[in-house]
Structure 1
Amino acid sequence: MPKTVCIVGAGPSGLVAAKSLLHDVPPGTFDVTIFDAQSRTGGLWPSKKDDNDGLIHPLMVANQSRHTVQFSDLTWPDDSPELPRAWQIGRYLDRYLETYCKDAKLKLGTRVEKTEASESGWKVWTRSSDGVDEKHVFDLLLVASGYFGKPAIPSCLPENPEIPIVHSSRYRDLKGLLGKTNQKGSKILVVGGQMSGVEIAGTIATHLSSAVNSPGTSPIENSDTYSVHHIIQQPVWVVPLFLSPKPSSSAPPFLPLDMGSYNMANRLQPLINTQGHISEDAAKRLHSLYQVTLGTDQSNYSSALAITPQDTHKPPFLAVSDTYMDFVRSGLIKVSRGKLESLQGQKATISPSGDKITDIAAVVLATGFEASSSISFLPPAAQDAISLSSSDLTNTVALGFHGTYHPSINNLGFVGFYRSPYWGVMEMQARFVTAIWAAGGRYSPSLPQSIKEALGKDTSIERTIGLRTDPRASQFPMGDYLWLMQEFGTALGLNRLEKGNTLNMDILTPARYPSKSASKEQQAETAKSLKQTETTAWAGLTAGKFVARAVFRSLLGEWKLERQLISKLPSHPSGHFSGTAKFLLRRGTRDGREAEFDRLGPDGDPGLEYLYVEEGDFKANNGLTFRATRRYIWRYNEANDKLSVWFAKTDDQKRADYLFHQIDFEVPEYDLNKESDNARGWFAKSGHMCIDDYYDVKYEFHFQAVNLKDWRLGYTVKGPQKDYTIDGVYTRV
């Protein structure tokens, strides 16, 4: 008779647990039932662009690439973006369910209300969305209900606020936050300075920028009067979604940020855990690494975000955003250091400074989640055994062998119940629990020797409890992905597949640890996944892929522009232009590319674009001076990794008219193994025939690590009535 298993949660953790129980052991070993309170699978991840009922905005871009946000035996489609959006991750999970979990009994819209343990198994009480109560009996209980139980709300907030207050997980757009009609206040206050705080502040600023700079009617009135005010308790390193393995170069290559983070070539073997307790020496090394990676201590953006020498002895904190830092530089986001002490009416008080923020229109709380409610269905004895803590949002439960079990409860397992739930680790956790249960339990004589040894050495419970009072605890106590994968691989006796041909990169992905029992179809998926990672790495390291995206991201904000014009015709005077160029971010528009939008269909992603506004004074060599302005639309197409520049319409200068030119980058010759190579920046070129005039366009982009330091744009124009050259230099204001 198969052992019956109750899985609570149908998100990534629950689905990979079901797959492991059904496919990693002989058929018929387990009979699996999955309960989820939601009406769909996917957990946090919606599978539709308009599904706004969950805890994640369906259009949110993942901060890990598709090479990490996947399981070992199901690849992403080749045309998927490197960094998928939330709804696309939900679609991936739909495919995973259909491929591997069809033999599980799936009970959606059914909440597990209570459980009761016995020597022989578990009694489970459920309630359906239409109010039907049922009692079930299972041999085994697996908790995959997630770390995001309910939003953590500060106690300092008023019971009946005068202004809207929402948790960051519920923010969707400006209209939903502020309403259509104008209301009092002009500042959107974001509270919370870690991952979600930086992300949501950047998102709201992007929405505000788009509302102001897009053609047509704004979704809110007086959108140009709003700004974002962000309260942080300490500075964090803010990294963009694409980083460079060669930050010393003026023409650095780029890869998705996790490819560098999960490069085992940068670590000594065998790996040792780098997370948990962070010593002062380790903190200084990490701060130094981040500063080299970003090319800045962040003081050039804001003194509130600067990582000073006094900060470098503390454990570092990271956040991810493509837009946050440059919106801070531009002033659309203003940063205050401290803690929200109180909110009265439209006024917030920050401690310990006592500073006031007035004229607040709305508050967005990026204060995280408390996970204890996710397992409130466990009996009190079980909650006591796992040392459940509702006050410690990071180390909520104390579980054995990296979050998988507790030694006092033999028939209870956990998958994905920790922060930083990288999918490879979830899959390993599921395999570990499956292997123990398939062997008959932790004390069974048939338990594999490698697992016995791993359990004998394990100190996860003591370590977790110790970190609760450790002032030097890391941001993510279980955040060393490479080490965790090594630990599980050793315990499970899984051999890591050799790396592909990716130069000096040894990128760890879930596909590097395939299941021993993988079918031919699964093996084919694993091979395809490894090939996708290899192809992406090669394209980034040797072919200039993602440079256009890095340039596009780094253009955001204001630049000082000095341009020299030399004309060979007396009808067009030579002279010098001095002024500014602003790249104003907004949601992608249809203008000029209607056919492309139609091909995208309802699931298409218009991406982002810039309204380019140039203003200044042109002083001709003949002494004449006049005010000059130009407008263009700059676009990045993720599908073909191309930047393009479009003319703006003369009668509506927020709208694109027709294509000016597409920018083609030239790949420099450099040695990735050399320490420094600053001979040149990224060169790019283009050409465009405008009626009778030909524009020969040349660019040169100089990076300082991941950010543009300065760049040049020059072109020669020849035609029946034009013969001139332009050379412009852009430097940061």
Structure 2
Amino acid sequence: MPKTVCIVGAGPSGLAAAKSLLHDVPAGTFDVTIFDAQSRIGGLWPSSRDDTASQVHPLMVANQSKHTVQFSDLAWEEGSPDLPKAWQVGLYLERYFQAYCQGAKLSLGNRVEKAEALPTPEGVDAGSWRVQTRAHDGQVKEHNFDCLLVASGFFGRPLRPSGVAADSDVPVIHSSEYRNLPALLGKTPGGGGKILVVGGQMSGIEIAGTIAAHLSSAVHSPGTCSIANADRYSIHHIIQRPTWVFPLHLSPKPALSAPPFLPLDLGSYNLSNRSYPLANKEGHISVEAAQTVHAIYRQTVGSDQSLFSAKVAVGGDDTKNPPYLAVSDTYLEFVRTGLISVSHGKLQSISGNTATIIPAGEQTNDVAAVVLATGFEASASVSFLPMSIQNTLSICPTDLNNTLALGFHGTCHPDVPNLGFVGFYRSPYWGVMEMQARFVAALWAAGGPSSSLPPAMRAALSNDTSIDRAIQLRADPRASQFPMGDYPWLMAEFATALGLEISPPLEKMPQLPPTNKEMNILTPARYPPKSPTDFQRSETAKALQQTEAAAWAGLTSGKFVAKAVFRSLLGEWKLERSLVSKLPSHPSGHFSGTAKFLLRDGTRDGRETEFDNLEKNSDVGLEYLYVEEGDFKASNGLTFRATRRYVWRYNELRDKLSVWFVKTDDQIRADYLFHDVDFAVAEQDDGKGWRATAGHLCIDDFYDVNYEFRFQAINLKDWRLAYTVKGPKKDYTIDGTYRR
């Protein structure tokens, strides 16, 4: 008879668990049932851009690429973006369920409310579980299972700090509840004010950048503004300590003025940069280790971040503390523009529309709304377990990182052999989730931690210190941001226990500093199933090909450079431009002023056919309204005020940057294409940055355009735009330099 297994949760952890129980052990070993309180699979991940009921915003961009956000034996569909949005991750999970989980009984709309560990009959190795579920209509049922697998996720209940009442005079929401400005501010008088964002780690940085982008779009988009007086709102971000902020694309060669770019995780998980045997780099962080990592981060971003604001600079004694990291393409530039202001401290209270920040007692007036990016209480995800079991697992609701003390990297506990966990920790990289699922399936298939286990697995459990380590970290002031954050080490630990070998790269890979070895990128597909089917073998190969192709394209053909340039243009630049005319009818002169790149949602103007033909759930991305203003001093002595406007766009599917003319009668709307920006890959770095060219024929006049984009690590330091215009009545050259 197969063992019956109850899986709590149909998110990525639950689906990975179901797949392993059904396919990674002999067929018929387990009879699997999945319960989920939601009416769909996917957990946090919605499968439609209109699904706003999830804890994750459907348009949120994943902070790991599709090469990491995948399982070993299902590749992303061709044409999928390297950095998918949340709803696209949901669609991937639907495909995964169809491919591998059809053998499970799926019970959606049924919340597991209670799980009771039944007494162990004499002579039986393990007892069983009585599971109580409640349907949406209130119907309660009881079920018996041999094993219980918890895949209910680490983000159990939004955590709200004491002193910040939900019935405040201003709207107070958790960051997971934010969807748009009208929902946040729709019930306020609309007179403007500060949107207070509380929390300076991953979700705080991300939500502050997101709301800033929404404000910018509301102010600078054509048509009716989504909220009244949008230009009177700003963001006040309260953080306890500075955090390194990485964009979604980094460079493995940050010293170059024309650096190549890759999705941020491809370089981070390059095993050629690690020494062997792998040692765990997370958990307790010594002062020396902290300073080493801070130095690496500083080299990666090219500064201590003080060029954006002294409030976000990471230096001095900060470099002795364990580093914190967040991901956002927009946050730092919005700090530089002033749309986001930053205070250090903790929010003590909200009274009326005034916030008090301690320890300095700083008061922030004119608060219009509060967004709490204060994390989640994971203990809510295991509240259905009996208190005796919770005590056995050393539950500590106040420790947000080490809520439970679980064995072998968060999978099990020796005192409850028929209870397993998958994905119950912060930063559950998908490869580790899959490995956890394989480990629990193999453990239960062999009958638990006994002599029947394979030697490697028995040794792994015998030498495991995960439980003691989790308890020790609870009182460690030098605990890392993510105690289980060393992805390569965790993957290697599971592989050793399971007897899995990492597969080699498919092809020769590019060499990179500092080791000057070929890239050796860790992805889930590097650890395929032991006995793959033809379909699995094909999907694994496809996934590996996608990853290696992305690496080669980024390092040799300039892929992702257009995106890096587009991201880094945000904000205001000082512009100096000279005009040299060979015809007396057009005077020469010099322009001095500013150029602003004002971020907004992509618009339909000028590309109506393309826009209307987008597939369902497609995304047009973002664009800038470009506004330059200044004084032009002509060679004949005349000086006059001058301005011009364009729309700059980035097309992710084409990886193309383009510039558009604006309408003469409505200068915030795009009219028609001026030119595409074509980047040229240089043979060597000469200090002038990335070069790009473009051309445009305007009736009889031809514009020959040349760009130079010079980087300081991942951010534009300055850039140059020059073009020559020739025609029957025109013959002049314009050369402009943009600096922060």
* Aligned partners of 1:180 and 1:220 also within 8 Å: no
d(CA) in 2 for partners of 1:655 and 1:180? 30
d(CA) in 1 for partners of 2:614 and 2:454? 51
d(CA) in 2 for partners of 1:343 and 1:499? 55
Does 2:638 align with 1:624? yes
d(CA) in 1 for partners of 2:493 and 2:308? 40
Query: AA paired with 2:702?
Result: Y
Deviations 1:280-313 (A, max 9, x none): 0000000000000000101111111111221111
* Aligned partners of 1:182 and 1:222 also within 8 Å: no
> 710, 715, 735: which is aligned to 1:727?
735
Matching residue of 1:686: 694
More displaced stretch, 596-605 vs 205-214:
596-605
Query: AA paired with 2:478?
Result: R
* Aligned partners of 2:192 and 2:229 also within 8 Å: no
SS of 1:362's equivalent in the other structure is strand
More displaced stretch, 282-291 vs 118-127:
118-127
d(CA) in 2 for partners of 1:448 and 1:199? 44
Does 2:288 align with 1:286? no
d(CA) in 1 for partners of 2:687 and 2:247? 25
d(CA) in 1 for partners of 2:392 and 2:263? 40
Cα displacement (A) at 1:182: 3.8
Alignment of 1:537-616 (within 5 A): 537-616=551-630
Query: AA paired with 1:491?
Result: A
Cα displacement (A) at 1:266: 0.8
Matching residue of 1:425: 432
Does 2:455 align with 1:449? yes
Number of residue equivalences: 725
* Aligned partners of 1:450 and 1:492 also within 8 Å: yes
Does 2:501 align with 1:487? no
Matching residue of 1:65: 65
d(CA) in 2 for partners of 1:135 and 1:29? 23
* Aligned partners of 2:192 and 2:231 also within 8 Å: no
Does 2:316 align with 1:309? yes
Instruction: Please list every run of 5 or more consecutive structure 1 residues that lacks an aligned counterpart in the other structure.
Output: 671-676
Does 2:47 align with 1:41? no
Deviations 1:318-347 (A, max 9, x none): 000000000000000000011101110100
Cα displacement (A) at 1:156: 1.2
Query: AA paired with 1:466?
Result: Q
Cα displacement (A) at 1:484: 0.3
Matching residue of 1:94: 94
> 644, 648, 659: which is aligned to 1:645?
659
SS of 2:320's equivalent in the other structure is coil
> 246, 257, 266: which is aligned to 1:250?
257
d(CA) in 2 for partners of 1:194 and 1:678? 38
Deviations 1:15-64 (A, max 9, x none): 00000000001111100000001111000000111111110100110000
Deviations 1:132-190 (A, max 9, x none): 11111000000000001110001011363111001000000000000077435511000
Matching residue of 1:518: 532
SS of 2:574's equivalent in the other structure is strand
Query: AA paired with 2:464?
Result: D
* Aligned partners of 2:155 and 2:376 also within 8 Å: yes
* Aligned partners of 2:600 and 2:625 also within 8 Å: yes
Deviations 1:617-665 (A, max 9, x none): 0000110000000000000000110000000111000000000000000
* Aligned partners of 2:271 and 2:520 also within 8 Å: yes
Alignment of 1:189-268 (within 5 A): 189-268=196-275
d(CA) in 1 for partners of 2:303 and 2:224? 39
d(CA) in 1 for partners of 2:616 and 2:413? 47
* Aligned partners of 2:254 and 2:302 also within 8 Å: yes
d(CA) in 2 for partners of 1:205 and 1:158? 24
Deviations 1:460-501 (A, max 9, x none): 000000000100000000000000000000110001001242
> 344, 354, 358: which is aligned to 1:347?
354
d(CA) in 2 for partners of 1:510 and 1:437? 23
Query: AA paired with 1:541?
Result: L
SS of 1:711's equivalent in the other structure is strand
Cα displacement (A) at 1:517: 2.1
Does 2:313 align with 1:299? no
> 500, 525, 528: which is aligned to 2:542?
528
d(CA) in 2 for partners of 1:607 and 1:182? 31
SS of 1:234's equivalent in the other structure is coil
Alignment of 1:378-389 (within 5 A): 378-389=385-396
Matching residue of 1:115: 115
What RMSD, in angstroms, separates the aligned Cα atoms of the two structures? Answer: 0.9
* Aligned partners of 1:151 and 1:368 also within 8 Å: yes
Query: AA paired with 2:74?
Result: L
d(CA) in 2 for partners of 1:453 and 1:121? 27
SS of 2:725's equivalent in the other structure is strand
Query: AA paired with 1:251?
Result: A
Cα displacement (A) at 1:381: 1.1
Cα displacement (A) at 1:78: 1.2
Query: AA paired with 2:489?
Result: W
* Aligned partners of 2:195 and 2:368 also within 8 Å: yes
Matching residue of 1:674: none
Cα displacement (A) at 1:502: 2.0
* Aligned partners of 2:128 and 2:147 also within 8 Å: yes
Deviations 1:212-264 (A, max 9, x none): 00001100000010000000000000000000000000000000000011111
d(CA) in 1 for partners of 2:617 and 2:435? 32
* Aligned partners of 1:158 and 1:344 also within 8 Å: no
> 280, 301, 304: which is aligned to 1:273?
280
Query: AA paired with 1:165?
Result: V
Query: AA paired with 1:210?
Result: S
Matching residue of 2:447: 440
SS of 1:490's equivalent in the other structure is helix
Matching residue of 2:103: 103
Instruction: Please list every run of 5 or more consecutive structure 2 residues that lacks an aligned counterpart in the other structure.
Output: 121-126, 511-517
Matching residue of 1:399: 406
Query: AA paired with 1:721?
Result: K
Matching residue of 2:83: 83
Matching residue of 1:158: 165
d(CA) in 2 for partners of 1:176 and 1:574? 52
d(CA) in 1 for partners of 2:106 and 2:263? 35
Q: Give structure 1 regions of 4+ aligned residues with deviation exceeding 6 angstroms.
A: none
Cα displacement (A) at 1:583: 0.2
Does 2:138 align with 1:131? yes
Cα displacement (A) at 1:522: 0.3
d(CA) in 1 for partners of 2:201 and 2:565? 26
Does 2:707 align with 1:699? yes
Distance 1:688 1:184, change over 3 A: closer
d(CA) in 2 for partners of 1:181 and 1:375? 37
Query: AA paired with 1:115?
Result: A
SS of 1:409's equivalent in the other structure is coil
SS of 1:475's equivalent in the other structure is coil
* Aligned partners of 1:188 and 1:227 also within 8 Å: yes
Identity %: 69
> 661, 664, 668: which is aligned to 2:678?
664
Query: AA paired with 2:169?
Result: E
Cα displacement (A) at 1:678: 5.1
* Aligned partners of 2:246 and 2:328 also within 8 Å: yes
> 469, 478, 484: which is aligned to 1:463?
469
Does 2:331 align with 1:324? yes
Deviations 1:552-587 (A, max 9, x none): 000000000000000001110000000000000000
* Aligned partners of 2:166 and 2:173 also within 8 Å: no
More displaced stretch, 159-168 vs 468-477:
159-168
Query: AA paired with 1:650?
Result: T
d(CA) in 2 for partners of 1:263 and 1:453? 28
d(CA) in 2 for partners of 1:354 and 1:308? 24
